Structure 1
Amino acid sequence: MIKRWNKFFYRNSKIGSDPDSSWKLQNEQMKTNEVYKLINFAEGGTLIEAYDEGGIHESYEEKKARMKPFIKAEIEDKFLYPEVNRVDEKKYRKYLKAQEALSKLHNRNKENETRLQIDANGNQHDIGQSMVSLASVISQYDVHSCYWTLDRRGGVGETALHMLFVNNTPKTLTIAKILLELYPQMAVDAYMGPDYFGETCLHFAIINNSMEAFKVLLETRYCDVHARARGKFFVPVDIKLGAEVLQKDNYEGLAYYGEYPLSFAASVGNDEMYDMLLQYGADWTKADSFGNTALHLTVIHNRIDMYHHAVTHVTTKADPSVQNKAGLTPLSLAAKLGRSEMFKAILEISATKFWSYSRMICNAYPLTNLDTIAPNGDTNWNSGLMEIIQGDDDDHLNMLEGGVVTSLLDQKWKSFARRKYFRLFIFHVIHIIFLSCAVYLRPFDINLILGGTDASSIARYVFEILTCIGCVIAIYYIIREIVIEGILGFVQNLKTVPSRLLYYLGCVLMLLCIPFRIAKLVSVEDWLLAFAIPFLWSYFLFFARGLSLTGPFVTMIYTMIKTDILRFSIIYVILLGTSGVVFFYLFNDLNIFAFQTELGSFMTLLQMSLGEFDYDAVKSSRYPPLSIILFVVYMLMVHILLLSMLIAMMTRTYETIAAKTQKEWRRQWASIVIILERSYRNEEKLNFQNKYSKPIHATRMTSEGPAEDNAPLQVNVEDRGLLWVHDRGVGSGERKAVIGGRWKKTGSMAAKIQRSMVDEKNENKFESTKYSRHGVPHPDISERRKQDDQYTMPDSN
């Protein structure tokens, strides 16, 4: 309970509140830690001094030979194991417990803020922030190889080689290369502290995009190409803030690159490093703590070219259908994150091209990860289409406009949704007509409600029976839908369309009226009927969402209720409750009707907030001046301020949705299509899918489907795709040709202009020479030309 309480209020009970704690720790140990004496963040230390002794004219081999005795004395003899050592969990637990002693010591000594780090040898070092809990690190620990001694590392578990890569300058990288050539086993070491746990120099080389360092590390043959950088620095933001599980599957994090070196290379888009890692045995199927592979990381970091490279690799093709722990494939992940360009690129890469003519092209797009119907007929909640419809960003709205997604929804609408939509609408209209007739024919006399025998009562009985039959049919389909989709799927449907929930409640309330009428509890029946009637009528909002004329306005209503009215109601209830108690106290025992009871006081204030009030009643309190002051304050706060704010908020919501009316309607329409789809049995959904999809592996294809007469009608969904014939527009090759042509045309025009300028210049030079003395140009050639024109030879005629 205490853990949940702290998590609710602080959000970081698991991790220290200072995000720069590791940097502070390293800086505070800069003068005492032996690792930082070798190399520090300011590119200083004994390693740098030893490197600079030879001067700038010393060759690399000479530097290496000169530094070798120093490195042996200062590094090998002091910091390195005789050979690569396997660090077991027991030894690592002892190391971290020594680190955690800092936190306990700090709690006992808050007065002078002294916090000491105790290493495995018992040495104490001052630091500035408590460590991550031991359990949070041990839970993700696996056996690590270690060449640099565990008890003589930097403040966050790093070695001198790590520090050289952190600095990332030509000088430090050269020193790192010398160390790796002398002691290639150093490449095996990873950060052992909780903050950067598991990060190796190979990760640094990829992030720094240093191909030279990358090759040197791989050539040592000691690099672990499956090393996992799993410290808190590399996790998404919500996990870093202390959440037990990922709250949002957007994987937002400044340094979230997927733990593995191959995922790092995919995240930064370096295909050359990606290929080399594969050659050295890296496995692209390795998934990080969230189940994301290198292919998922290309989507998260929006690397379209890298995704194409991975799935079309010559030797090791990545499988685009791989799922992470959230059940998301790269396609559905791109849809969830709103990466429209990545989503389109993945679709185009997976498409099967049948024919093209000029700018027209016929492609078949696989439905496995795109369609909401799974291969077995169940609803694919993690499909690309489902993620787009459930998304709430503008990017998701844009993905519903045009393209494969719109074509798929259109095919679903034509195949089954349109027919069921209008069938349900007609059924509901008839149901409401029966309900309205039964209500309008209801007598005021209680005795005639059950025992009437006149024509009006008989007609009322008929309409009431028909209304109840309609409610029974509706409840039957509710049960049927629960059986088909399960209770979770049914709840998901209700969350999408609140009006359906009200409609189902109205049907239940109508049926509950039957036993209370038999028991002659007419008052209870009236209460039930008063709620059932508006609930049943509200179902028209479901059908209004499917029309382009009314759909955006229904969306506005839902949005205003969820946001504007909810926020207004919270503040309004607080003010109403406060004022209601005070006014009831001021008018208690004064026999003023408006404030005679507790409920009456609240209702009077509610009426006052709408602008209707009796000022004489307000002055009749026990303390008139006080009641008048409270009345003015209440009217200013509620009637003027809160209501004006509500109007302003609703206006903003209206303008936001009105600016994207067509897009909002398309999303509501798409939601209706999917809701109607989920009401069918699995066999029916697969039959519908066969209608709007075509076999991908057909040998000949037309715009209508397979050209063969004996083409199979039933094909598994993995072998079926959405056939889409469309205008592909101007391709990249055509764009290059057009741009090249324009440049050629511009270049030829420029050449003509240049030639004309040169000719004019030569002509001017010729004229200047003609009218010159001793080679000196005449000052005014134009005047001389005018004189020559006056002495032209006359025409022969």
Structure 2
Amino acid sequence: MELACEEGRSEIFEAMLDDSSDTAWEFGPVKCVTYPLDGVDSIKGDGGLDLNSVLWRTVFGGEDGHLDILESGVIYLLLKEKWKEFAKQKLRIRFILALFYLTMLSVAVYLRPEGDLLSGTTVTDIVRYIAEVIVLIGSTIYLGFEYFNIRALKSRYWRLQIYIPAKSTFLVSCVLFLFCLPFRLLSLRSVEDILTTLAVPMAWCYLLLFYRGREELGPFVTTIYKMALGDLLPFSLIWIVIISILCSVFYYPYKDMEGIQSFDTFYGSWMYLFHMTFEDFETLISGEDDEIELSRLPVLTKILFVIFMVLIPILLMNMLIAKMAQTYQTIEHRAWRESLRQWARIIMVLEHSCSKAELQKYRKAYAVPGAKPKYLLKGTSTNQPSPSKADAEDSEYCDSLMIVKPNFRVQPQKPHGDSSIRTRLSLQNWTVVPKATRKQLIEQKRHGAKIEETTVNWIDSLPGSGL
């Protein structure tokens, strides 16, 4: 299953997952099935993190097949249980703390005076001191929590930061704020201003992490990331090479020429070509003050200008716009699925910030003892003492997710839109058995008792029973 998930083979993964499941009971058009969580859930039975689990590979996979696995009934409902048990509450608390932290940061920045930052005694200065202390304490706390995450994830921690750039930039801003303290004490105002200028926008990017889990905002944030890395970065590499070539070519015809403002220095030439990229070249061709005619080689300069116009504003810029439009259309077509993946990644990020005892408690909240698959059963050696009856019975069970789903398989054609039919089935006709009903169903399964009337009424209220 891990290999199928790593390769994004959703059909193989679902077939193997169904093969490992155990049907507790069937009642008309619905049935109750337990799916073992060993190797599937990112939380182990003892509360540790399973970084090789199916859930980890699915959430941080980049293939379309991983989206198919992610929106399958079992994986989606597992994430939904995690969201209800701890992720939703923790995300709200973090959002409130982030807003408070950023508010204090804004107060500390907007109240900075022009002169000395340590000698003020007015009410405004006192408020600024309090806000700065809160920002430093908050930065220290955020970095302290990340230290425990690094110890838990080790080398995979840095891989995780690639998928959550908003959090990564925020942590960098926390480091920069702490570096401001020694420069403040050394009265190096210029260095502190540089660090603060870099850190403030990076800190505000942290809010994008909370937007990624929203269906209406997540696709836009994802589009920005995709365009920045997939479109702007290749364009910038090509653009820098062409600009560097033409910069030298334009600089030489105007070198040591009087009355030239655009290409008087090499740096000025480079910056003016940057403005010309966006069709800002009025001083170059502006009637009587035409700078092309003031060059040593006016004809050659005009030829170079035409070459620049064809390569940069016309060719490269339109290629960039077309590529961005293609990226936006691709993400918009599967907006719901992309928001689902971002929502799942937020859950995983929150999960990694929990302690081992907390994770063990959360897993017990949504897991039930289900029948262990045959490939997880271990034989007992003849040299070892025979286990007791209670131990033997417990060894046949493992943590599972109890789900009620339709008692038939529906495979209609995939609709046109951003969600597949399997997503709709998982949302409408799959449900996790409530906590109050789980123990009752397990006991009835073990002792072979008939389903009681209260359980029948609960089954009739399920969405899948109306199919």
Q: TM-score range by the shorter chain?
A: 0.7 to 0.9
2:290 aligned with 1:620, yes or no?
no
Task: List aligned pairs for 1:511-660, cutoff 5 A.
Answer: 511-591=178-258, 592-613=260-281, 614-615=283-284, 616-660=290-334
Task: List aligned pairs for 1:624-773, cutoff 5 A.
Answer: 624-697=298-371, 719-729=398-408
SS at match of 2:31: strand
Deviation at residue 731 of structure 1 after TM alignment:
8.5
Residue aligning to 1:236: none
Residue in structure 2 matching 1:456, options 119, 124, 128:
124
**Residue range with higher mean Cα deviation, 570-579 or 672-681:** 672-681
Deviation at residue 395 of structure 1 after TM alignment:
2.2
2:162 aligned with 1:492, yes or no?
no
5+ unaligned residues in a row in structure 1: which ranges? 1-330, 699-710, 733-797
Contact 1:584 / 1:598 at 8 angstroms: preserved in 2?
yes
Deviation at residue 635 of structure 1 after TM alignment:
1.8
Residues of 1 paired with 2:36 and 2:295: CA distance?
76
Contact 2:212 / 2:342 at 8 angstroms: preserved in 1?
yes
Residues of 1 paired with 2:230 and 2:239: CA distance?
14
Listed one character per residue, the Cα deviations across residues 324-383 of structure 1 (whole Å, up to 9, x for unaligned) are xxxxxxx11122222222212211111122111011111110011211123443322222
Listed one character per residue, the Cα deviations across residues 289-313 of structure 1 (whole Å, up to 9, x for unaligned) are xxxxxxxxxxxxxxxxxxxxxxxxx
CA change 1:367–1:457 in 2 (3 A) is same
Could you list the runs of 4 or more consecutive aligned residues of structure 1 that deviate by over 4 angstroms after TM superposition? Answer: 715-718
Contact 1:389 / 1:667 at 8 angstroms: preserved in 2?
yes
Residues of 2 paired with 1:356 and 1:574: CA distance?
67
Residue aligning to 1:446: 115
Residues of 2 paired with 1:574 and 1:654: CA distance?
27
Residue in structure 1 matching 2:79, options 409, 412, 415:
409
- Report the residue type matching 1:726 in the other structure: K
Task: List aligned pairs for 1:206-355, cutoff 5 A.
Answer: 331-355=1-25
Residue aligning to 1:436: 106
Contact 2:34 / 2:371 at 8 angstroms: preserved in 1?
no
Residue in structure 2 matching 1:393, options 63, 74, 90:
63
CA change 1:565–1:680 in 2 (3 A) is same
Contact 1:388 / 1:400 at 8 angstroms: preserved in 2?
yes
Whose helix proportion is higher, 1 or 2? 2
Residue aligning to 1:262: none
Contact 1:586 / 1:623 at 8 angstroms: preserved in 2?
yes
SS at match of 1:579: helix
Residues of 2 paired with 1:458 and 1:565: CA distance?
44
Listed one character per residue, the Cα deviations across residues 222-255 of structure 1 (whole Å, up to 9, x for unaligned) are xxxxxxxxxxxxxxxxxxxxxxxxxxxxxxxxxx
Residues of 2 paired with 1:546 and 1:618: CA distance?
53
Contact 1:360 / 1:726 at 8 angstroms: preserved in 2?
yes
SS at match of 1:589: coil
- Report the residue type matching 1:452 in the other structure: G
SS at match of 1:412: helix
- Report the residue type matching 1:442 in the other structure: R
Contact 1:367 / 1:718 at 8 angstroms: preserved in 2?
no
TM-score, structure 1 as length reference: 0.47
Residues of 1 paired with 2:398 and 2:34: CA distance?
10
Residues of 2 paired with 1:570 and 1:689: CA distance?
47
Q: How many residues align?
A: 385
Residues of 1 paired with 2:56 and 2:75: CA distance?
10
Contact 1:545 / 1:554 at 8 angstroms: preserved in 2?
yes
Deviation at residue 729 of structure 1 after TM alignment:
3.0
CA change 1:462–1:349 in 2 (3 A) is same
Structure of higher RCO (CA pairs closer than 8 Å, 6+ residues apart): 2
Residues of 1 paired with 2:395 and 2:358: CA distance?
14
Residues of 2 paired with 1:402 and 1:337: CA distance?
16
SS at match of 1:605: helix
Contact 1:367 / 1:721 at 8 angstroms: preserved in 2?
yes
Give identity over the alignment, percent.
37
- Report the residue type matching 2:153 in the other structure: E
SS at match of 1:373: coil
Residues of 2 paired with 1:621 and 1:518: CA distance?
53
- Report the residue type matching 2:408 in the other structure: G
Residues of 1 paired with 2:410 and 2:157: CA distance?
45
5+ unaligned residues in a row in structure 2: which ranges? 285-289, 373-389, 412-467
Residues of 1 paired with 2:85 and 2:395: CA distance?
18
Contact 2:45 / 2:399 at 8 angstroms: preserved in 1?
no
Contact 1:366 / 1:718 at 8 angstroms: preserved in 2?
no
- Report the residue type matching 2:150 in the other structure: I
Contact 1:587 / 1:595 at 8 angstroms: preserved in 2?
yes
When Rg is computed on C-alpha atoms for both structures, the one with the higher figure is: 1
**Aligned-pair RMSD on alpha carbons?**
2.2
Residues of 2 paired with 1:450 and 1:369: CA distance?
56
Residues of 2 paired with 1:478 and 1:618: CA distance?
57
